[in-house]
Structure 1
């Protein structure tokens, strides 16, 4: 009988991973680039804690992510704490408590890590990076449009200029089903049919709503086509108000950026359950993975808010590759502080030898350097050394 092998120290739990060079630096630089764009539009950065008491973390909009939240016992207070699964509820808490008296509209931004109980088939990661902005106070199409336009500008700043923004109305289908009295198993089956974009099943299960739901289902796609279907559907009450709102939001976006890639899916209702109005999902062309998600919600008890969260992990998988910082080998004893400071200001990473070596060029190559310091200047390592 043999002893069990010792555990592999590189083995991590499912959905968690180490981010290595140069990806870790690339992600950090991209996050700061996104945040710089947010700041330029007046969004001020906040930094919520990673852990909060469970009763405050999961209050209000936080209840929507309760099933994705890890809980631990605080050994100090003996109260349950939660590890955030989404940052937006924390920003909402800050807005109504610590910043409750700050004039509105209140523009806040954030960047940080979240941990979720489980990933999805398309996004199996359980630790996710988030970069987002929240616009709190106004309830208008212009506010909805602003968050989308700023997010588009931020994505363009890291080279992602062809992102597509899919506008959705998570409350439209539930409001129609409520009014039609569709509940229980019938509602579940109809919801699944809509989620699968199964027009035949929607027609069979939708009852009196079937013609409207089928028309809206088939209209998903380019904004003009979807808006025409929403306008002709003569939707009642809340559904009608949502249809008008998405049309006004689309018009506000087009007025500012006519070339932005916009689609509308009138019957899409997935997403965070705290979303109450026009919502948005961000995609890269030809990819199903979400680059970001956001929309309108209630901040605190009754304050309107809207925002968008971008996912750097997903964004970097589709963004143009970022050129790594060139590494410059500095032979032992050759450095001058002023010269090296100037080279770092020019974008080089200086890698200093800590002791003399027999072959500086070989050592430079061994350490992954592309340049070597010669006569106070950066010299490119040629193939011959």
Structure 2
């Protein structure tokens, strides 16, 4: 008997839900366009070597790959769109001067579920600012994310800001061995101060770095920047990362960024984040509705060394939040209303 079920982690989207995703993507692109970002369409397949160059070994474990029948080449279904943007930017310098502001949407597919119940196929809409570094570009990305979430009608959103290197610099200064470093990363993910303290006792670095490790879990929420300044004293790498976060927030707030939450005790990413990182959360969504950050080393891997920053909105989780908020009496704005964003100066 024919099995009509879908492979694990995949699902059909029925007309109403599909219409909501398409509507959301359209409203997001209205906002992206108002900031000067131009849309590109990218193929679903890439050569495996392109994907391998763009992701960490851990992320590569989720790549779905196969041999093309005609050419014998090994290709991959994209698990992430940012490396594709990097490849495009590197190969089309004639058409994409620096800085380049690009936006996109489309699905990405992973070989396995990131966690139970999480779809393997994820629909995204995002932006990449290529060839622009420093706090001005960081501030632009933060402001664009905030404006995007606001304009599409999400209520009660929280933007969480951190830095890819802050906690990593503390751990590096503590001089942990491989096993202790793995324990520290797991403890950080759980916000486990006792686990970090245990790992610190196996460190060989200076006392200041060892003492700072358990305190990383406190670098969240109100007063986090003040606590981070005290912790980073005597740790130049962490202090430098902290200055980048503070500079970006200062500029973004001058341009109207609403209040954000700071979390400097995170070590996360796809293997290419090098600076400020951020995520957007909304009531009613099962996970972050958006995430991104600075990735200054990625473009060099493709032969055009330039700074870059960007983010992607998870259309499924954002739609989930909008539908649940609408069910509680909050109606998301129609797309026509969102075009007011075109009049706003980025």
Shift of 1:79: 0.6
Partner of residue 211, structure 2: 211
Shift of 1:205: 2.3
CA distance in 2, matches of 1:124, 1:299: 27
Query: Deviations 1:299-358 (Å, cap 9, x if unpaired)?
Result: 42131100011100000111244979xxxxxxxxxxxxxxxxxxxxxxxxxxxxxxxxxx
Partner of residue 245, structure 2: 246
CA distance in 2, matches of 1:20, 1:286: 20
SS at match of 1:59: helix
Shift of 1:123: 5.7
Query: Deviations 1:203-228 (Å, cap 9, x if unpaired)?
Result: 23223334312333213123xx1110
Distance 1:93 1:235, change over 3 A: farther
Partner of residue 133, structure 1: 127
1:308 corresponds to which of 308, 311, 314:
311
Q: Specify every segment of 5 or more residues in structure 1 that has no aligned partner in the other structure, as ranges.
A: 1-5, 325-385
CA distance in 2, matches of 1:217, 1:33: 37
CA distance in 2, matches of 1:64, 1:40: 36
Partner of residue 229, structure 1: 227
Query: Deviations 1:30-53 (Å, cap 9, x if unpaired)?
Result: 111101110111101111100011
Shift of 1:235: 4.8
Larger Rg: 1
After superposition, residues 89-108 of structure 1 pair within 5 angstroms as 89-99=83-93, 102-108=96-102
Distance 1:316 1:76, change over 3 A: same
CA distance in 1, matches of 2:126, 2:191: 30
- The question of whether the paired residues in 1 share the 8 Å contact of 2:46 and 2:76 is answered with yes
Higher helix share: 2
- The question of whether the paired residues in 1 share the 8 Å contact of 2:137 and 2:309 is answered with yes
Alpha-carbon RMSD across the aligned residues, in angstroms, is 2.3
CA distance in 1, matches of 2:286, 2:238: 27
Partner of residue 342, structure 2: none
Count residues with an aligned counterpart: 316
CA distance in 1, matches of 2:313, 2:78: 16
State the structure with bigger RCO (CA 8 A, min sep 6), 1 or 2. Answer: 2
After superposition, residues 1-385 of structure 1 pair within 5 angstroms as 6-9=1-4, 11-61=5-55, 65-99=59-93, 102-121=96-115, 124-207=118-201, 208=207, 209-222=209-222, 225-233=223-231, 234-258=233-257, 260-285=258-283, 289-297=287-295, 298-301=297-300, 302-319=305-322, 320-321=325-326
Q: Specify every segment of 5 or more residues in structure 2 that has no aligned partner in the other structure, as ranges.
A: 202-206, 333-346
Distance 1:281 1:147, change over 3 A: same
CA distance in 2, matches of 1:171, 1:113: 29
What TM-score does the superposition give when structure 2 sets the normalisation length?
0.85
Higher strand share: 1
Distance 1:54 1:45, change over 3 A: same
Distance 1:156 1:64, change over 3 A: same
CA distance in 1, matches of 2:150, 2:249: 20
CA distance in 1, matches of 2:266, 2:284: 19
Shift of 1:100: 5.6
* Structure 1 range deviating more: 119-128 or 288-297: 119-128
Shift of 1:262: 0.8
SS at match of 2:215: helix
Query: Deviations 1:94-143 (Å, cap 9, x if unpaired)?
Result: 11111366332210000001100122336610000010000111211121
